[in-house]
Amino acid sequence: MKVAVVGATGLVGTKMLQILEERNFPVTKLFPVASERSVGKTIKFRGKRHKIISMDAAVGKKPDVAIFSAGGSVSKEWAPRFADRGTIVIDNSSAWRMDPEKKLVVPEVNAAVLTKMDKIIANPNCSTIQMVVALKPLHDKYGLKRIVVSTYQSVTGTGVKAVEQLMNERKGKTGVRAYPYQIDLNVLPHIDVFTENGYTKEEMKMVNETKKIMGDDNIRVTATTVRVPVIGGHSESVNVEFERDFDLAEVRSLLEKAPGVVVIDNPAELQYPMPLMAHDKDDVFVGRIRRDETQPNTLNMWVVSDNLRKGAATNAIQIAEYLLSVGILKLKVKKTATTV
């Protein structure tokens, strides 16, 4: 199994390497790929140093799977080149998510849509992933009608510069800036660029991706996405209206049994999900589960997950694991000569 990790030196790429190792994904040959300025440097994986190579060199290696986290423009240019050589590409950027010819996949929700024909597979936006994992078992039972979501997103969702800006501000230092305003002791109701309708691209990603992943364009979604001074972990306040009424005990039971979901919901003991609790974990944590008393069939809940793991790296690797489990991605058995 030859595996390329594109963007191997970034926050998500580094996390991908960590998770490939943690989950014991069957990597026989690793090809870390990064920008030209990083080519020739090395990264550590499973106790060994691996030399970073260029995009051209990686394409020539014909990896079985290439996991991308290098930005939309890079993915647009290079993912088809890998795919043309027979490589299955799992892309973490927004480049292919809404392409009608490409699948947008969260394994716990819609892995079954994948076929042998899919050579470029899109990994959804981090805030969308954790929300649909929590909503999938409830949608199956009660039918999603309308979602109102407000997010509280970590600076790691922006990248290394955003983390540096936050830490510099806490130390009273000047330095690189990822945001137009101070982020420490502040919140920014602005993630990605604003669009003509007054929503940001991040908000519209949540709207459009949710419909595509759930396979239902009739679900109404509205979002407000906010950047908060937290290092690691996105939180979401989700208000969801269903087609049918629900029982709260049954809701909790459905969530407790759902793959990838952990319920922490005991207000009497002040137990509820928080970003610190989700740090370096692959689960989606759900709490503050309660009925919206202002209208029928409507639920409030609080959803938290590690955005670099389940929101990006882990989800991508889970897609690769699914492809292996159903035989779309196959381990090659090396034949050895025998003498009689």
DSSP states along 315-334:
HHHHHHHHHHHTTSS-PPPP
Q: Which of 50, 126, 190, 279 is catalytic?
A: 126
Q: Which residue do the tokens 């949608």 mark?
A: 139
Direct distance between the N- and C-terminal alpha carbons of the chain, in angstroms, rounded to an integer: 30
Q: Which of 50, 139, 234, 279 is catalytic?
A: 234
- Alpha helices (H) along 183-247: 201-214
Of the candidates 103, 88, 74, the one whose C-alpha atom is nearest the C-alpha of residue 12 is 74
d(CA 7, CA 74): 10
d(CA 277, CA 275): 5
Q: Which residue do the tokens 């809701």 mark?
A: 251
* Alpha-carbon distance values, 288 to 118, 226, 240, 263, 268 (Å): 38, 20, 13, 9, 11
**Residue 126 bears catalytic tag:** yes
* Alpha-carbon distance values, 152 to 1, 13, 309 (Å): 38, 23, 17
DSSP states along 20-41:
HHHTT---SEEEEE--GGGTT-
CA dihedral 77, 80, 84, 85 (to 10 degrees): 70
The two three-digit tokens of residue 225, written as one number? 């996405």
Of the candidates 220, 222, 221, 242, the one whose C-alpha atom is nearest the C-alpha of residue 299 is 242
What residues form DSSP beta bridges with 291?
Answer: 299
**Residue 234 bears catalytic tag:** yes
Q: Which residues are catalytic?
A: 126, 234
